[in-house]
Amino acid sequence: MGFQSLVLIVIVLLVSAATNQAIPVDINDPHVIKVATFAVTEYNKHNTEANLIFEKVINGVSDVTENGTNYRLTLSANDGSTSNNFSAIVLENPADNFTLIAFALIPHA
């Protein structure tokens, strides 16, 4: 592999990394809240024992990929008696469709 090819590969990797940087989300943005609410609702649909109620977004980041926008959120939800924090990853594709990628309880320290 020639030096020019190596330089070209490095440039492509740097440009790709620069365009896929995670950006902090505004936790009060109605769209971010919609994404978080979707995550909780979708989790409840697929877990018959779950009956979580969304409370708030604690923090999160988003990054744009070739498949859409990934949201990685930390959110608070209540099971009727206790509030817990959860980690959620949601993909929003260009057609404004959401897909829940991951949802997990964040254990107390």
Asked whether residue 53 is assigned to any structural domain, the reply reads: yes
Which domain does 75 fall in, by range? 22-105
pLDDT-based confidence at 99, cuts 50/70/90?
Answer: very high
**21-39 per-residue burial string, b: 16 or more CB within 10 A, e: under 16:** eeeebebeeeebbebbbbb
Summarised one tens digit per residue, pLDDT across range 36-89 is: 999 999 999 999 888 999 999 999 999 999 889 999 999 999 999 999 999 999
Q: Tell me the CATH number at 32.
A: 3.10.450.10
Tokens 């744009």 belong to which residue? 64
Question: How many domains does the chain contain in total?
Answer: 1
Asked whether residue 13 is assigned to any structural domain, the reply reads: no
What's the rounded mean pLDDT across residues 7-16? 50
pTM of the predicted structure, to 2 decimals: 0.80
